Chains A and B, each alone.
Chain A
Amino acid sequence: MSMFEWLAPALLLLFAGPLHAAEGPGLGAPANEADIAAWNIEIQPDGKGLPAGRGLAAEGEKIFAEKCQRCHGEKGGGKPNDQLVGGFGTLSAPEKPAVKTVGSFWPYATTLFDYTRRAMPWDAPRSLSNPEVYALVAFLLRENGVIGADDAMDADTLPRVVMPNRDGFIPFPRKPF
């Protein structure tokens, strides 16, 4: 990832400083992965963390109409909350408002799974099954023209989806810290 090559010198520099003499009383209890599995939910861009299950856009369309549309509009067209579909061509047109949607702006499809599962629907987060989340992700990717209508999303296919704005993010030009 190019951003890390750029960050590396700054990170190393700070890391090389004197480390901390302070010691704690050692009160952390051992945590085993089984006990914390329900919390261990983040999905990394390489797909690490994606669960079993799969979903199709057609299934996701039904769930979206039932649970998502009232905030995100028909087929993710937006209003009253965030627009999720469309907006292509607006990012590099400074004279227009930028329409930053999942399709036009988000760099990683894995983020869509992560965020939908952790935080949506707004009034009942963590209530969707993993296949339901895959189906919703497939629906939004299909509506954005990123995948085909019959492309199933699962732990194998989702990380291989290349989002249209994947290369749109660049490092901040001044030193990170």
Chain B
Amino acid sequence: MSGQNTSGAPPAAGGGLLDRRALFEGALGAGLLSASGAAAETLGDPVWTQKPGANFTPYGQPSRFESKVKRVWAPPANPATPGIGASRTPHQFLDGAITPNSLHFERAHGGIPDIDPEQHRLVIHGLVKRPLVFTMEALSRYPMKSRIAFIECGGNGGSLSQPVAQNVDAQAIRGLVSCAEWTGVPLSILLDEAGVDPAAKFVFAEGADSAGMSRSIPLAKAMDDALVCLYQNGERIRPGNGYPVRLLAPGFEGNMNVKWLRRLKLVASPVMTKDETSKYTVLLDSGKTWQFIWPIEVNSFITRPSPGIGMPGPGLFEISGLAWSGAGQIKTVEVSADGGKSWAPAALQDPVLPKALTRFRIPWKWDGGPALLQSRSTDAAGNLQPSRAAMIAERGLRGQFHVNCILTWAIGANGEASNVYV
């Protein structure tokens, strides 16, 4: 098929981007679509039609043809200390906004513990009138709430702050964000039961893992929308995501959503744990370091096309990706095919939920020439995702955490995508 725009869809920006409405209103035109059909072939009944299939399975698995869709993780720097690190979501193979539980990213500082829920306890103490201890059975009897929320590791996107672009895919660059429906007890209910002392300003949250991973959460956040979660996408939370109970602090950086939660202590000021001082802070060129960057800032990236998900030849394609903000809902996502010279608004997939991944889509007529694909999002608070140059101008290259700059895929003449800096 030629790269010529034979559709009725108007161009929306340079490089072949078409009006987002063309996806849903049929404006692409029958002539264009019929031109992309497969070559004629004679169809017969395959073997799976000619005999009955397999029996049911107690807990389902994906098709064997989907074996490439899996989490990956970097080998540990020290083979003697496995379980330090993170497994990443293969966003280039997924669509929609919800991350399957088996593919949700995992971050662990001391491996994934094998916790017996019968023996696990959650303690609330410190600056409270009534220190309390909860069994998991007791927690499961409280009124629950569900919400769809992203969780993003503070270290996601770190490869965008290297001096030169890394030859890696979407999973390696942005695989430390995932989105699930989380169900649990509003933390405010449990804190009210314990009776918070007015002197308390923070909740120290600690896990039962061997690292005792712990963070200080502002009390206002704990009382506002934090959940003590038991369920992830309808089933009990997976071990790698905090079984049997984790904290959800919607929109806040990943490790404040403390997994394997066993203790909440009301305190007057932050404990200054290892993971809120020496890590998850952003070193600036001045030598000073930003601390307590709690919410994840507005972000987006294109999942398709992306490295490994290229195009067989010129034609009509959908550019698709994900956007999110810890400040609330995504308001707009714009896409560029010419490295940021011109932008077209993408369609946002309903429902657009606050502090959740939002899927965006836009039709694109690739003419077979070089292209630079980018997305940039704006949240309901008006925050605009920065270019990489703007991010570096503000904070340098050594920040390591909370990297939310625009990601660029270069499209080569072979239709393959690769990460570049522009």
Contacts and interface: CB of A to CB of B under 8 A. Distances in A.
Contacts of B212: 41, 118-119, 125
Contacts of B218: 7, 11, 176-177
Contacts of A35: 133
Contacts of A176: 218, 292, 294-295
A118 B109 CA distance: 12
Interface string A24-40: 11111111110110011
Contacts of A52: none
A86 to B, nearest CB: 15
Nearest to B281: A169
A22 B185 CA distance: 10
Interface string A152-177: 00000000000001001111111011
B252 interface: yes
Contacts of B71: none
Interface stretch (A60-68, A99-107, A141-149): A99-107
Given A33-B131, A169-B288, 15 more contacts: A3-B291, A3-B292, A22-B189, A24-B192, A27-B139, A28-B133, A36-B131, A42-B214, A71-B81, A92-B287, A102-B278, A107-B272, A125-B212, A169-B281, A172-B293
Nearest to B77: A80
A29 B133 contact: yes
A94 B251 CA distance: 30
Nearest to A95: B285
Interface of B: 77-78, 80-81, 84, 109-110, 123-125, 130-135, 138-139, 141-143, 185-186, 188-190, 192-194, 201, 204, 206, 210-212, 214, 218-221, 223-224, 251-252, 262-263, 265, 267, 269, 271-274, 277-278, 281-283, 285-295, 297, 326-327, 396-398
A39 B262 contact: yes
Counting chain A CB atoms within 10 Å of each CB, the highest count among B143, B204, B292 belongs to B292
13 contacts: A3-B291, A14-B224, A28-B194, A40-B125, A43-B271, A81-B81, A110-B272, A118-B212, A125-B210, A169-B277, A169-B288, A170-B288, A176-B218
A30 B287 CA distance: 47
Counting chain A CB atoms within 10 Å of each CB, the highest count among B133, B135, B143, B278 belongs to B278
Nearest to B291: A169
Contact of B285 (A11, A94, A125): A94
Given A3-B292, A4-B269, A114-B274, A28 B124 contact: yes
B220 A171 contact: no
Given A7-B218, A70-B80, A24 B293 contact: no
Contacts of A168: 287-289
B390 to A, nearest CB: 14
B211 A119 contact: yes
Contact of A14 (B77, B124, B125, B221): B221
A130 interface: no
Contacts of B223: 14-15, 19-20
A144 to B, nearest CB: 13
B272 A111 contact: yes
Given A19-B188, A119-B110, A172 B201 contact: no
A58 interface: no
Contacts of B252: 177
A170 B80 contact: no
B138 A172 contact: no
B133 A45 contact: no
